[in-house]
Structure 1
Amino acid sequence: MCILISTTEHPDYPFLLLSNRDEYYARPTKGAHFRTLENGTQILAPLDLARTEHGTWIGVTTSGKIAVLVNYREEDNTPELGEISRGILPLDYLSSISSDEDWYQNLENELAKKSIRDTKVSLRKIGGFSLLYGKLDINHNTGKINHLNILSNRGDRGRVHDSMLAGACPTDEELKSHEDVAYQTTFGLSNSLFYKPWQKVDIGKSRLEELVSKSIVENYTHDELIQHCFDDILSYNTFDAEAADKAQTLEDKFLELRKSIFIPPLKTGVSKPLKSSFVGSYYGTRTQTVIALHKSGVLHYYEHDIHDSDELSKEFKVKKQHFQIPLSVPQ
């Protein structure tokens, strides 16, 4: 039940994005690191080592492209493990030299040219997903990013954070379709359609808006702002453990996850990891990421890995990383 919340409301940060990755603790993962792809593109991203594709759920390039993927929870609440990992999509976008529109229009044809484990790749063979992607270009006139894009193979596509529309932003009550998210200066997404957000998304958006306002009034330093992003939002826990304990099945327990940004260790009832599905004894928030683009053009990428083992008795210290990427800014 991952979540991302992003905003363009801060005057010093044209773009702020906060993300929690909720996953089984037994699923092997490599933390964020730089690497150079075959075509020379340099990316910064963690990797999912559980599937042979070694895809990712979040990443940026040194040129300022960003891609963030979340799974879609099917209407009957059953998870769907596609033949092909969803994690190939962020990497495919980040490595592309095409424009955003051309990448989208040619996505199916380009995927069809690939084969993984002797299986031809197509969106139909990938589980449900939503993908936020685009180039972090700062608009000279607005001081905000131009816009990002979003698409889902279970819903629709649209624009997010369109700075040219921000002045005509409708209220939350007036938002009626996928097209309206383009107006939002603060955006949220979890495992539902992006224009049908869960309760945790509404909580996250509200808390991020409050944090931005408070940080301006109290003149937070950069470090203070980032720390509050982790402490006040990504670690905000409203999970009802009592209700979850009363649930009859794991799927019923998962319904409670829609109400909390942070998910504490949740017992799955599995005594040892299942190699075929990467399901282990615990599920919950494993990795927290904050991406902050400063108006100076410096892109900050913070990652906190808070669990890396299915054994909670094992002593573990949160692994914290901070990367900086200088991007060009409009003159």
Structure 2
Amino acid sequence: MDHLPDSEWPLTQSFSSETTGNTMCLILFAIDQHPDLPLVVAANRDEFYERPTEAMHWWSAPEILAGRDSRSGGTWLAITRDGSVAAVTNVRDGRPEAGERSRGSLPIAALERKTGDLKRELDTSHAQFAGYNLVRANGQRGWYYSNRDSHPGRTLFRGAYGLSNHLLQSPWPKLVRLRHSLVQHMRGTPVADLHDALIEALMDTTPAPDGFLPDTGVGLERERFLSAPFIRSEHYGTRATTIVSVHRNGEIQVTEQNWRARGEAGPRQTFRWIRPS
């Protein structure tokens, strides 16, 4: 979507910081869909540009690679040394509550806890968080949980998945289009070029036609504004694009492209390491 004039900014100005803070807004991931890459993740994080954020870096406790939200101390996407990835999105359902706890703690918990313990903890804390989706994946399987799902806690096996601000695999236009793009790039793009190709794919600013917009309780104008995979404006938009690839030979590569207001490219950094044996 092109830059919104200041007169249109109230469309997003009414978002609370907790409604948007600490969450990805688009996550694509493929489990066992490539002969050399058992896991590929591609994600956009949308947020107010003024919200203070630390770029992706290695944390000491826990030992994860992640960006950090300076306001709440949490993160939106994190990777472990062995190539497990966890990320969170908010659920956009028009409910105004902020939640007692920040959703930025959820990816960290997902990487620290066993599935059974994590599910029990999440089952008893629904009301403490605003709506969220949490996904964890490695090269063998994934796990998905939402406190807006009627049957939360699902194991995911090989396949290509998409997640935005509704439940997993909801057929929102940007998810359908970008999930297809992910699969096509994994089939036809050389591994060495995959990160660059996926970053370019996630820069798609095409809004969805009105007839295909979801109704999440935020009004038509905001639905239009948020319907593009890559959002840019003066005050709110895509802040970071993150690509993760886990290779069968043990190599893990992570690229983070940061974005400034109006979609101006900021710093890009790449991390590479070999999974501990």
Same fold judged by TM-score > 0.5? Answer: yes
CA distance in 2, matches of 1:253, 1:33: 36
**Aligned match for 1:46, one of 49, 53, 67:** 67
Secondary structure at the residue paired with 1:124?
Answer: helix
Say whether residues 1:31 and 2:55 are aligned partners.
yes
CA 64–208 in structure 1, closer or farther in 2 if over 3 Å, else same: closer
CA distance in 2, matches of 1:221, 1:133: 23
CA distance in 2, matches of 1:195, 1:320: 29
Q: CA deviation at 1:62?
A: 1.4
**Aligned match for 1:67, one of 59, 77, 86:** 86
Q: CA deviation at 1:56?
A: 0.5
CA 257–106 in structure 1, closer or farther in 2 if over 3 Å, else same: same
CA distance in 1, matches of 2:51, 2:43: 18
Q: CA deviation at 1:259?
A: 3.2
Secondary structure at the residue paired with 1:201?
Answer: helix
Check conservation: 1:198, 1:258, Cα contact below 8 A.
Answer: no
- Counterpart amino acid of residue 18 in structure 1: A
Moved over 6 A (4+): 240-243
Say whether residues 1:239 and 2:242 are aligned partners.
no
Say whether residues 1:293 and 2:243 are aligned partners.
no
- Counterpart amino acid of residue 318 in structure 1: G
Check conservation: 1:239, 1:263, Cα contact below 8 A.
Answer: no
For 1:42-97, what per-residue CA distance to the aligned partner results, in whole angstroms no more than 9, with x for missing partners?
1110011123xx111100111333211000001xx355422211101112222x2x
- How many residues are treated as equivalent by the alignment? 246
CA distance in 2, matches of 1:80, 1:15: 35
Check conservation: 1:131, 1:152, Cα contact below 8 A.
Answer: yes
CA 328–68 in structure 1, closer or farther in 2 if over 3 Å, else same: same
- Counterpart amino acid of residue 321 in structure 1: Q
- Counterpart amino acid of residue 165 in structure 2: N
CA distance in 2, matches of 1:251, 1:26: 24
Alignment correspondent of 1:259:
227
**Aligned match for 2:187, one of 189, 206, 213:** 213
RMSD of aligned residue pairs (Cα, Å): 2.6
- Counterpart amino acid of residue 135 in structure 2: L
Check conservation: 1:301, 1:324, Cα contact below 8 A.
Answer: yes
Q: CA deviation at 1:211?
A: 1.5
Q: CA deviation at 1:235?
A: 0.6
- Counterpart amino acid of residue 192 in structure 1: H
Say whether residues 1:17 and 2:38 are aligned partners.
no
Alignment correspondent of 1:202:
176
Show the 5 A alignment for 1:112-127. 122-127=125-130
Check conservation: 2:205, 2:229, Cα contact below 8 A.
Answer: yes
Check conservation: 2:41, 2:244, Cα contact below 8 A.
Answer: yes
Alignment correspondent of 2:270:
322
Q: CA deviation at 1:157?
A: 2.4
Say whether residues 1:228 and 2:197 are aligned partners.
yes
Alignment correspondent of 2:115:
100
- Counterpart amino acid of residue 255 in structure 1: E
Show the 5 A alignment for 1:139-154. 145-154=139-148
Structure 2 unaligned runs (5+)?
1-23, 212-217
CA 296–257 in structure 1, closer or farther in 2 if over 3 Å, else same: farther
Alignment correspondent of 2:20:
none
For 1:101-150, what per-residue CA distance to the aligned partner results, in whole angstroms no more than 9, with x for missing partners?
232224456xxxxxxxxxxxx4312110000014x2xxxxxxxx221100
- TM-score relative to the length of structure 2: 0.80
Q: CA deviation at 1:31?
A: 0.7
- TM-score relative to the length of structure 1: 0.68
CA 305–151 in structure 1, closer or farther in 2 if over 3 Å, else same: same
